[in-house]
Copies of this chain bind each other. A is one copy, B any other.
Amino acid sequence: MNKSTGPAMRVRCSACPLRKLSCFAEFSDAEEAFMSSFKSGELDVDRGSPIVMEGSNSPHLFTVLEGMGIRYKTLEDGRRQVIGFIMPGDFVGLQAGVMDEMQHSVEASTKMLLCVFRRTDFHQLFRDLPQRGYDVSWLAAREEHFLGDYLLSVGRRSAMERVAFALWSLHRRAFDLGLAKATSMDMPFTQLELADAVGLSLVHTSKTLKKLRERGVADWSDRKVMISDPDRLLEIAGVDQPAPRLRPLI
């Protein structure tokens, strides 16, 4: 349909950096070509840039190619809740694609590179490429899974447990993407973003991180996290390590 939008667009999905990663399922050449036809360009944003706003109905949907960001919602008086962290391979804009508008905002926490799709093509994707439609649901189910985990954490865990869980979960995701070492990672998020994710005040989050540091469990300082005692971290977070799984990519 839109393969004829001209040769000069920055459409280079076959050079998609995600394809290199072992955690993603593979496309056939035909599928690859088909997906490329949906791509309408790439978007480069800097740290702090809004990507989609709550209540908006942007004409674009995105797949994250590089960088990390946050999904969040705010109350009128400014209180903010981070409802999710966004990493490469994540799909942004499902709600805008399928309902009319986004129910949360998305903002870049690092420099990000996004693959851009036209919202109007979204419906067509299900019709012409059912497997990709299925994958959209897969990603949605995964997002639902994360949200459930966060809700359990914020609703029922203590500050200590929450912070430990968040650290583990961030590291786990980054590690699966090859963006972290086994016991350390570059942390692109601020402590304020973490605080807003776990539902604590900035001050208390900082104090909790200090305790983790003093107890020799994990050390978050200077934009780096070192996990000194992974077993203890898991234990505090209260998770049983699940097995990794292959994921689709839109």
Contacts and interface: CB of A to CB of B under 8 A. Distances in A.
A92 to B, nearest CB: 12
A27 interface: no
A140 B136 CA distance: 10
Contacts of A131: 126-127
Nearest to A102: B145
Contact of A79 (B100, B123, B130, B156): B156
A80 interface: yes
Interface residues of A, number: 47
Contacts of A155: 81, 154, 196, 198-199
Contacts of A149: 73, 103
Contacts of A154: 151, 154-155, 199
Interface in A98-154: 98-100, 103-104, 123, 126-127, 130-131, 133-134, 136-138, 140-145, 147-152, 154
Interface of A: 71, 73, 75-76, 79-81, 83, 94-95, 97-100, 103-104, 123, 126-127, 130-131, 133-134, 136-138, 140-145, 147-152, 154-157, 196, 198-199, 238, 245
